[in-house]
Structures are given as structure tokens and as C-alpha cells.
Structure 1
Amino acid sequence: MPRGTLARPAAFWSVAVLLILMLAASGVPSPLYRVYAEEFGFGSGTLTVVFGVYAFALLLSLLVVGGLSDHVGRRPVLAVALLVEAASMVLFWAADGVGWLLVARVVQGFATGALTAAFGAALLDTQRADRPLGPLVNSAGPGLGLSLGAVGAGLAVQFVPSPTDWVFGVLTVLCLAAAAWVVFLPETSPRRPGLAASLVPSVHVPPSQRRAFLLVLPCLIATWSLGGLYASLSPSLAATVFGVTDHVTGALPILALNGTGVIGSLTMRSLAPARGMTVGALVFATGVAGTITALWTGSLALFFVAAVVSGFGFGGAFLGAMATVTAGVDPGQRAALISAVFTVSYLAFSLPAIAAGVAANSVGLETTAEVYGAVVIVLALTAVAGLTLHRRRSAAGSAPAPDGQLQPVHDR
């Protein structure tokens, strides 16, 4: 190990902290959308476009450079992407209209996509063999990071003069410091051939993981679709349906969903992946049903309770899905596989939310959210049914696991 390089345990937790920092930065704009809408004079349709361009830029990044660190190393990708993230913070800082806001969000999306794949792979590289916490951090990290970013920004808007100057100034410094810290991480991915081919936009799931990937797909779509709705429209929903005008309170549904997602991941980490995903998906569906009921009845208290329940289920279900699909993956294909998982996740995070923003202009935000919730429940139950059917077929000996790679799908 080169002198000055962190030992693997320290490297693992350094990567985990940097991942959460990056995700917190991506969550910061959510509570600010209402502020920008009032300042620049745009409605929910434009708001979801601003939200959507970030997700599309992130997806493009995952498709083009998601597997890059498998070929050139983790450190170069992380360092450059963190510098691009810092540049996006400066663009937010300088934004004086919708155009600048869109540019800032695109740059941030591209940086976040590259960081998500490289950080996710680095966690798997540096985790202890006898204590594999990489899937846990990969699944809990988005919830924790988005929660910290959203609540921190909400507090800044409520209590700090010139909140955007403070928020984006501090984040710029932190991103630059993070880029410098990458120098101390061990390089865990040696250079490999195939660099040019890896830059062709594609989603690659290794053959050994494809059956597991299909099994977890409805769960990924259901959970991240709800996350997208909360990130883009929950402050507006709280204001429109429940009359909440306070910025901190308006950001709390995002914390309730994403923050309890972390608790759900931690609580269910000892369960077998399939059982954790099944239990999580059922709890998640129950929480979403509570959200629909809260919208029908106008109960703000039930709305927050339902967000907590949904988030708890989200965390357990996503952890189970991540542990299932990454079990036994070849080290040289880790970044590409994680890129594929998050490509699907962010598609689910963005496209339905954009459609909801457009639909809200025609049928109203409350009706849109109720229909959206019903579809999400159906997807979550589909994931449960798929796992149940798979287990029954496996028990009957009609669905053998090739090379043992689907073993995590079984309850043990």
C-alpha cells in the first residue's frame, strides 16, 4: 500500500461519508424549488422540468461513464466528478433565472451519476469480507443523504439570511475538500481493457445477475417512483392540500420518507435478502395506502405517519433488492452493475414524477398523487408476488440457481 494511503476499513468509511455528502448536495435543491418558483415566477410544470433535467443528466452519466471506473480506476473518476459537482454548486450560487437553474441541475446530474457508480463500486471493493456492509450503505446512503440535504436546506431557507449563498458556498468548499481527500483512498480497480467500449451508452447486467435483476425490478420502480414524487412535489403537496407554508415543515415529508428509509435498512439488515425485500415491500405498500387515505381525509398527521411507514418499507425493500442483485458479482463488473441498478432507479425517480407534474396542471395535484400512489402499491405487490412465485418454483426444483448466484433470493 503506498505511503499515506488509507487502510481499507478507513477507506470504506471515508467512501461512505463522501457518498452521503454527494447525495446531500443532490437533495439540497428540493426545498428550494418553492423559493425559486416564487423568485423566478414559474409553476409546477416548470418545477418538474427543473427536477427532470437533473435526473436525465444523471441517467446519461450512468449510461456513458457508469462503468468507467472499472477500466481507469476509482480515484480518477471520483476526483474529476467531485470537481464537476463543485462547479455545479457555483452555478446554483450564481443562478438568477430558470436557465441558469437548468444548467446547474444538468451539471450536478452528470457529476452525481458518475459518483454514484464509482462510490457504490468502491464500497463493495473496500468492505470487509466477514462483514459486507457495502449493500447496506449503498441502499441507506440515498435516504440519509437526501434527508440531510433537504432538511438542511429547509432550515437555511427558514432561518438564514441569503440561504442560497450559505448553502451553495459551503457545499462548494466541501466538494473541493472531498476531491482532495480522494488522493488518500486506495486504488481498488486496476486498469482494464475495454475503455472505449465502456463509453458507448448502454445498460449492462452480467449474465449471472440477470434473473435476480428481473426479480427486483418492480421493487426498484415502486420505491424510487415514490421517492421522486416526494423530492419534486411533496412541499407543493403539503402547501396545496394541507395548507403548510412553513419551509421547514414542507421539507419534513422528504425527511420522513428518506430518513426512516435508513432506519428500515438498519432494522432489516439481518434478514435474508428475499425476506427483507418482501417485508419491506409490504410495509411500503401499507404506508402508501396511508398516504392516499391522508389525502382523502385531509389529515396532515396521517400524511406524516404514512411517509414514515413508507420510508421504513422503502429502506428494507431496497436493501433486500441491492443485496440480492449484487451477490457474487465479479469485481470487474461491479460499477457497471450498480450503474444498471441506479439507471432503472433514477428512471423511476424521474419519469413518473415529471408525468405527475404535467398531470397536476390538468386534474389537480391531489388527484394526481392519489392515482400515483395506487400504481406504486400495485408495483410493490407485484414484486412480492414475483419473489413468492420464484421461491415456490425453487423449492419444487424447477428453477435452479446458475452458479449459485441466485442463492440470496432464497430465505435462509
Structure 2
Amino acid sequence: MASVTALRSRRRLPVLGRRGAFRLHASTLVALLAASSAPTPVYALYQAAWHFSAMTLTVVFSAYVLALLVALLTAGTLSDHLGRRPVLAGALLAEAVAMAVSAAAQGVPELIAGRSLQGLATGVATSAAGAALLDFEAPDRPGRAAVANGIMPVAGMAVGVLASTALVQYAPAPTRTVYLLLLVLFIAQAAAVRLTPETARTESGTWRPIRLLHLLHLLRPTITVAPASQPGLALAAPGIVAAWALGGFYSSLGPSLARLIAPHAAHATGGLVFFTLTAAAGLAGHAARALPARTVSLAGAALLIPGALLTLAAPHLHSLLALFAGTALAGAGFGGVTQGALRLVLRPAAPGERAGSLATYYALSYLAMSIPVVLAGLLTNLYGLQASVALYGATVVALTLTGLIRAAHLPHKA
């Protein structure tokens, strides 16, 4: 009997060490954001099959983002209180359910339901996984977790849209295959998370069931930023809003813009627009990891301006080359903004403030990503895609210039 008890005890011990756990949580961020971008190339197939408008498309897109925002505002700090492992494992299983709902969708209502559930799960999972990266950071490599938090999400979006584009082009049942592959991946990651050490200092030392009233108290909407992180967030906020607003445009309406410029181009072209944005963002974030965070954030914001202007000009030039060049510039700016902003926000945060600070950053980002996209869809319905692109680009440029001018008058220590 004693040997059986000892065996069970050993089975409960974590298997993954610090390095393995760091890699697992980095791969989890990649998978979560890959799942967020994977539907982008599939939207054209949904539109062709179900005959819905650009406005409906932006509503489907924003259902995910708004649900994610709700999760970040209510459950973003949950892993600080209940533990990283149970929160992240549960969120990943919810992701798997969302993939099943999306794979079985037969119309827009089911698609919105699947994307909404996915948004809720992603909001919980990204803050928990991002905080766990900071917990498992090697002491001899400080700053690595903040860099990973900046690079892995955009790398995930790039991987998701590229893989989905390939499946749309070559795989049978492309509106189902991508979701089923992600479903299997999330189940595997949920199981692997249970093999990692618990790093959050919960009230009882280890996770245990909590009373309903206490859970409701934890789930109240909150905005939490570590006091030491507030100056950095204030500096980066205009660039964050501009970058994510532009990212939302490319994600939802980028394929439509590519079809407007080149109506007879392959279906994969639309997906490659968003891939170009995210790939450029990942490369820029990686290249800038050793530079000062303030410099990276402001330089990234400056790159958004020529990117937006070139994208704005592409329909008038009837040039896919101009579209992809503008997208690449905007992507480099996006990568710089996210890399610099996350370092400014996360490095000063204490361990118990990490999930909340990260959730606030993502809440600001996805709010900036969703609301402008809905307005762009409405403008597209009323005045056409080209007019919507012009107004969207002009707004991003104006916001970015305002942020840069404001940053020039802030003390450098901010």
C-alpha cells in the first residue's frame, strides 16, 4: 500500500523543469494567437457560402475580440489568485471546445458562438501563460520573458494565418480541418500544463476549490496596472492603440482589400496580407530585443505612418506590391510597438502584479482592435471599402503623430 501511495505521489510531482515549462508556455501563446488568426483566410469562403456583408464579417471578427476583452477585464488576474496551472489548463480545454463549435458551424450564428467562446478562453489563457513566462524566466537571462511575450503572439498569428492559408488552398474541408488540428493541439497542451510546477502564491499555498462568493469577487471587472508600470504604459498607449487598430483592419478587411485591388488573384492572397503583417512584426520584435524599450516603442509607432499611407495608396495605384510593402512597414511598426510596450509594462511589475498588468495591456490592445474594425465595416457598407480604408489610415496616422509629439514632451525616464 505504501508503495502505491508513493507512486501516486511521484505521479503528482511536476515533470517539466524551468526551461521546459518556459518553452511550453511560449508555445501556448503561439497556439492561442495562431487560433485567433487562423479564420482570416477562411472568411472569404464563409462569405461565398453564406453570402454575408462586410459589416457581418466585422461583427464576427469583433465577437471574438469583445469576448476576449470581457475575459481580460474580469478573469485576467484569476491565475494570480487560483494558480497558473488550473486556470491555464481549464482555459485551454475551453479553447478546444470552441474549436469544435467553429468546426461544426453551419452559419453565422454558430460561427459567432464559437468565436465568442474562443475569445473568453483566450483572454483567460493569454494572461495566465504570459505571467507564467515571467515566473519561469531564467535568473541569468533577465528580460527574456518580456521579449517572448512580445514576439510569441505575433509569431503565433503569422503561423496561424500561413497554415490556414495553405489549408484553404490545398486541404479538403478547409473550414473544418484547421479547427480540428487546433483542437488536438489545445488538448495536448492542457495535459502538458499539468506537468509544470505551480508558481503563483495562492492564498492556501496550493489550489483548492473556493466559495462561489469569493469567485464572484475575483471575477469583478477590474483594471490593474502595477504602479511602477504606469509611466511606461502611459508613454506607449497611443502607439499601442494605433498599432492594434491597424492590425485589426488587416486581420478582418485585409483579404477584401486584396480582392478589391486584384479581383482575380488566388484566394491565398488575402491570407498572405495578414501573414505579411505578423511576420514583419515578429522579425522586427526579435531584431529590436536588445534596444532600449522606449526607443523601440517610439520607433515602431513612427513606422506605422508610412505603412498606413502606402496601404491607403494601394487601391488608387491598383498595386498589390504597394499593399504588401505598406503591410510590411506597418507590421514592423506593430512589432516594435508591442515589443517596447510589453517591456515597459512588465519589467517593473512585481510577481503578484504580472497577470493583472498583462491583462490590462491586452485589454487596451484588443479594445483598440475591435471598435475601429466595427466602424470600418459600417463605413464599408455605407461608402465602400476604398473610403473606409482612407478614413482608417488617416485616423491611424493622426493618432500616431499625436502620440509621438506627446512622447517628445515626456521626461525620458518615462
TM range (shorter): over 0.9
Cα offset for 1:5? Answer: 2.7
- Of the three residues 108, 111, 114, the one matched with 2:124 is 114
Q: Residue in 2 aligned with 1:27?
A: 37
Matches within 5 A, 1:303-382: 303-382=323-402
- Of the three residues 157, 170, 176, the one matched with 1:159 is 170
Paired with 1:95 and 1:377, the residues of 2 have a C-alpha distance of 38
CA deviation map 1:139-180 (0-9, x unaligned): 122211111111211111111121123212211111111110
The one-letter code of the counterpart of 1:37 is Q
Paired with 2:79 and 2:318, the residues of 1 have a C-alpha distance of 48
Cα offset for 1:329? Answer: 0.7
Q: Residue in 2 aligned with 1:94?
A: 104
Q: Is the 8 A contact 2:22 2:136 kept in 1?
A: yes
Cα offset for 1:15? Answer: 0.6
CA deviation map 1:72-130 (0-9, x unaligned): 00000110000000000100111111111111011101011011111111111111233
TM-score, normalised via structure 1 length: 0.92
Cα offset for 1:341? Answer: 0.4
Q: Is the 8 A contact 1:125 1:331 kept in 2?
A: yes
**Where does structure 2 lack aligned partners over 5 or more consecutive residues?**
1-9, 205-213
Q: Tell me the number of residue pairs that the alignment of Structure 1 and Structure 2 aligns.
A: 394
Cα offset for 1:287? Answer: 1.6
Q: Is the 8 A contact 1:124 1:134 kept in 2?
A: yes
Query: Are 1:69 and 2:68 matched, yes or no?
Result: no
Runs of 4+ in 1 over 4 A off after TM superposition: 193-196
The one-letter code of the counterpart of 1:270 is A
Paired with 1:219 and 1:317, the residues of 2 have a C-alpha distance of 6
**Where does structure 1 lack aligned partners over 5 or more consecutive residues?**
395-406
Paired with 2:366 and 2:337, the residues of 1 have a C-alpha distance of 16
CA deviation map 1:273-298 (0-9, x unaligned): 11111211112222222212223322
Cα offset for 1:244? Answer: 4.8
Paired with 1:385 and 1:192, the residues of 2 have a C-alpha distance of 45
Q: Residue in 2 aligned with 1:82?
A: 92
Q: Is the 8 A contact 2:283 2:335 kept in 1?
A: yes
Q: Residue in 2 aligned with 1:183?
A: 194
- The DSSP-based 3-state class of the residue aligned with 2:409 is helix
- Of the three residues 4, 8, 24, the one matched with 2:18 is 8
The one-letter code of the counterpart of 1:60 is V
Q: Comparing 65-74 with 19-28, which one deviates more in the overlay? A: 19-28
Q: Is the 8 A contact 1:294 1:302 kept in 2?
A: yes
The one-letter code of the counterpart of 1:156 is L
Q: Comparing 374-383 with 147-156, which one deviates more in the overlay? A: 374-383
TM-score, normalised via structure 2 length: 0.92
Paired with 1:100 and 1:318, the residues of 2 have a C-alpha distance of 32
Q: Residue in 2 aligned with 1:288?
A: 308
Paired with 2:103 and 2:326, the residues of 1 have a C-alpha distance of 35
Paired with 2:203 and 2:71, the residues of 1 have a C-alpha distance of 20
Paired with 2:72 and 2:14, the residues of 1 have a C-alpha distance of 31
Query: Are 1:44 and 2:64 matched, yes or no?
Result: no
Paired with 2:408 and 2:218, the residues of 1 have a C-alpha distance of 36
Paired with 2:259 and 2:219, the residues of 1 have a C-alpha distance of 43
Paired with 2:81 and 2:94, the residues of 1 have a C-alpha distance of 20
Paired with 2:369 and 2:171, the residues of 1 have a C-alpha distance of 30
Q: Is the 8 A contact 1:239 1:245 kept in 2?
A: yes
Cα offset for 1:212? Answer: 2.1
Q: Residue in 2 aligned with 1:237?
A: 257
The verdict on how the C-alpha distance between 1:317 and 1:201 changes in structure 2, with shifts beyond 3 A counting, is same
- The DSSP-based 3-state class of the residue aligned with 1:184 is coil
Q: Residue in 1 aligned with 2:27?
A: 17
Paired with 2:110 and 2:58, the residues of 1 have a C-alpha distance of 15
Q: Residue in 1 aligned with 2:181?
A: 170
- Of the three residues 138, 149, 169, the one matched with 2:149 is 138
Q: Is the 8 A contact 1:216 1:325 kept in 2?
A: no
Q: Is the 8 A contact 2:68 2:121 kept in 1?
A: yes
Paired with 2:51 and 2:64, the residues of 1 have a C-alpha distance of 20
The RMSD of aligned alpha carbons is 1.6
Q: Is the 8 A contact 1:274 1:387 kept in 2?
A: no
Query: Are 1:206 and 2:255 matched, yes or no?
Result: no
Q: Residue in 2 aligned with 1:215?
A: 235
Q: Residue in 1 aligned with 2:3?
A: none
The one-letter code of the counterpart of 2:280 is T
Q: Is the 8 A contact 1:151 1:248 kept in 2?
A: no
Paired with 2:232 and 2:182, the residues of 1 have a C-alpha distance of 37
Q: Is the 8 A contact 1:59 1:347 kept in 2?
A: yes
Q: Residue in 2 aligned with 1:57?
A: 67
Cα offset for 1:245? Answer: 4.1
The one-letter code of the counterpart of 1:229 is F
The verdict on how the C-alpha distance between 1:366 and 1:358 changes in structure 2, with shifts beyond 3 A counting, is same
Paired with 1:389 and 1:180, the residues of 2 have a C-alpha distance of 49
The one-letter code of the counterpart of 2:105 is A
